[in-house]
Amino acid sequence: MTAPVKAAVFGTGSWGTAFAMVLADAGCEVVLWGRRQELADAVNTTRTNPDYFPGVELPAGIRATTDAAEAARGADFAVLAIPSQTLRGNLAEWAPLLPPDAVLVSLMKGIELGTAKRMSEVIEEVAKVPPARVAVVTGPNLAREIVARQPAAAVVACSDEAVAQRLQAACHTPYFRPYTSTDVIGCELGGAVKNVIGLAVGIADGMGLGDNTKGSLITRGLAEATRLGLAMGADPLTFSGLAGLGDLVATCSSPLSRNHTFGTNLGRGMTLEETIAVTKQTAEGVKSCESVADLARRHGVDMPITETVVEIVHHGKPPLVALKELMARSAKPERR
């Protein structure tokens, strides 16, 4: 009999908790790290995460701790499920605690502000590990549906296909179907850009606009992600897969999406401050719209929807004015 795979999941928020459940259901031994002792205690004593999923019973294979060293001990996979902008600081503390051969897994869908780096790049830099030790899980995976064990597919990406296959096996359950990919760049860009487009669609929904607008934003948003991906060496086909179109459709259709909901509130006329005040969880696109726009500029790629979201979210441009400007851009062929 082989020993169970051990996973340390850093982050007891929505996706960390839900993915811990997936790993435990797939047979892994899971230690969930969180900052707050009372939440760790609640997970251990009630087998629920009352702050994020009250009433949802967590599998017995999950244990929680606030001690990062304890979580890291013996981990085959170190799964990172915290906000993208805090990764660099957090990982600097955790990386020295990890076993030398642990694979670091990013669940995060953001781009670092200031450096415009993808999460796997930050991980490689901070933990000083080669690309073959870093994997990404992405796709249409709204955490609330995952903890209800509703069927979903995902992509597990690593430059080393054998590592992607190991992680695939570690998180494959009857309700969670991971596919492998070696296109880490495409998978990460798909996840980061969809959050920005989710904001745009939410804004349009909040303004009372209909499905033609939504279909147009999703499709042109996908074109933006694909253009950026091509410029950065990604496989364009990744964007028509789960990490691209799949996640765009889920995020842009769902009231469960924090990015979509954030945009809807802005589109209804709430200010940025009011919207932030009512948003209890991480809406990555709010910060990452700026870093995605930065990345696009660095690569000379035109991303007008992304730029429009930056204008609305960070420069207070009224959504109606921004939309009119977007529609008034010079005419061009669909493909170029």
Ligand X SMILES: O=C(CO)COP(=O)(O)O
Ligand Y SMILES: NC(=O)C1=CN([C@@H]2O[C@H](COP(=O)(O)OP(=O)(O)OC[C@H]3O[C@@H](n4cnc5c(N)ncnc54)[C@H](O)[C@@H]3O)[C@@H](O)[C@H]2O)C=CC1
> What does 250 bind: ligand X, ligand Y, none (CB cut-off 5 to 8 Å by kind)?
ligand X
| Residue closer to ligand Y, measured from CB, 24 or 323 | 24
Minimum distance from CB of 242 to ligand X (Å)? 9
Q: Measured from the CB of residue 159, what is the shortest distance to ligand X in angstroms?
A: 22
Using CB under 6 A, pick the residue from 27, 74, 83, 131 that binds ligand Y: 83
User: Is residue 90 within the footprint of ligand Y (CB under 6 A)?
Assistant: yes
- Is 143 assigned a ligand-binding role in the annotation? yes
Give the whole-angstrom CA distance, residue 47 versus residue 96: 29
Among candidate residues 209, 311, 306, 325, the one with its CA nearest the CA of residue 264: 209
Q: How many CB atoms lie within 10 A of CB 276?
A: 13
Q: Which CB sits closer to ligand X, 117 or 194? A: 194
| CB-based contact 133:103 (threshold 8 Å) | yes
Closest distance to ligand X from the beta carbon of 334 (Å): 27
311 is in an annotated binding site: no
Q: Is 16 one of the annotated binding-site residues?
A: yes
Residue 194 is among the residues annotated as catalytic for this protein: yes
The span from the CA of 124 to the CA of 202, in Å, is 33
Please give the C-alpha separations between residue 289 and each of 110, 136, 277, 296, 321, in angstroms, as whole numbers: 9, 20, 19, 10, 19
Active-site residue identified among 6, 117, 194, 287? 194
Residue 110 binds to ligand Y (criterion: CB under 6 A): yes
Rule CB under 6 A: is residue 284 a binding residue for ligand Y?
yes
Residue type, 123: I
> What pairing do the DSSP bridges indicate for beta strands 134-138 and 152-157?
antiparallel
In whole angstroms, the minimum distance from the beta carbon of 88 to ligand Y comes to 10
Using the rule CB under 6 A, which residue among 23, 58, 78, 107 binds ligand Y?
A: 107
- Interacting residues with ligand X (CB under 6 A): 109, 140-142, 195, 198, 247, 250-251, 257-260, 284
Report the amino acid identity of residue 176: F
List strands edge to edge, sheet with 77-80: 62-65, 29-33, 6-10, 77-80, 103-106, 134-138, 152-157, 176-181
Query: What's the min distance (Å) between Cβ of 333 and ligand Y?
Result: 33
DSSP 86: G
* 8 A C-beta contact, residue 41 and residue 185: no
Among all residues, which ones are annotated catalytic?
194
Q: Could you tell me which residues are annotated as the binding site for NADPH?
A: 14-15, 35-36, 52, 109, 143, 258, 284
Please give the residue ranges that form the binding site for ligand Y (CB under 6 A).
11-16, 34-35, 81-84, 86, 90, 107-110, 141-143, 281-282, 284
Q: Could you tell me which residues are annotated as the binding site for sn-glycerol 3-phosphate?
A: 109, 139, 194, 247, 257-259
